[in-house]
Structure 1
Amino acid sequence: MSHQNTFSNTPVKASSIIGSKVINSKGENLGDIKEIVIDPRLGRIAYAVISFGGFLSLGEKLFAIPFSALDYSLQNSEYVLNVSKERMESAPGFDTKHWPTMDDEQWNRDIYKYYERSPYWE
């Protein structure tokens, strides 16, 4: 009699998150996760860095998205970002070769505010 209980908060490797597809609430493909950014002092994921590729004519731009803004879809092993196209078009992004200085508290606050999330460090 072996019971196969699945822990609902099963941890996963960052490498298994990188490359995961990101969709919107309508199921449209937005892009994929390129990097996971971790706060080493708190041991928490600060951001998923997402490339939206050619989506919305944004070019190959990267976006730091608070990890709390993403919902995981276990069924399809993908992440759902519930943000409108209009909101994404004006989202703060950065070039693949010029990452922001993530030690700037105001930059971090602005990103979390844009996605209407409470800063993870508070």
Structure 2
Amino acid sequence: FAVPWGAMALDIERKCFVLDIEKDRLDVSHGFDKDRWPSMADTTWATRVHEYYSARPYWEEF
């Protein structure tokens, strides 16, 4: 899955990241073929992924 870091929360006690999303929504999320990674410099692709998870893109100012 292509999930922005900003969409996850760090759970210190369990020592893991948590994504608060329904499994059905995750199943239809934007992804990519493990053998053909997208260009991480492609802002169109990255914006679409961030919007899907309601995460603020890291390249935008706060």
For normalisation by structure 1, the TM-score amounts to 0.47
One-letter amino acid of the structure 2 residue matched with residue 95 of structure 1: D
Higher Rg of the two aligned structures: 1
How far is 1:103 from its partner? 1.6
Aligned to 1:94: 32
How far is 1:104 from its partner? 1.2
- RMSD of aligned residue pairs (Cα, Å): 1.0
For normalisation by structure 2, the TM-score amounts to 0.87
Counterpart selection for 1:114 from 40, 52, 55: 52
Q: Answer 1 or 2: higher relative contact order, Cα 8 Å, separation at least 6.
A: 2
Can you give the 5+ residue segments of structure 2 that lack an aligned partner in the other structure? Answer: none
Write the distance in 1 (CA, Å) between the matches of 2:16 and 2:23: 18
Aligned length: 60
Query: Comparing both structures, which one devotes a greater share of its residues to helix?
Result: 2
Aligned to 1:80: 18
How far is 1:96 from its partner? 1.4
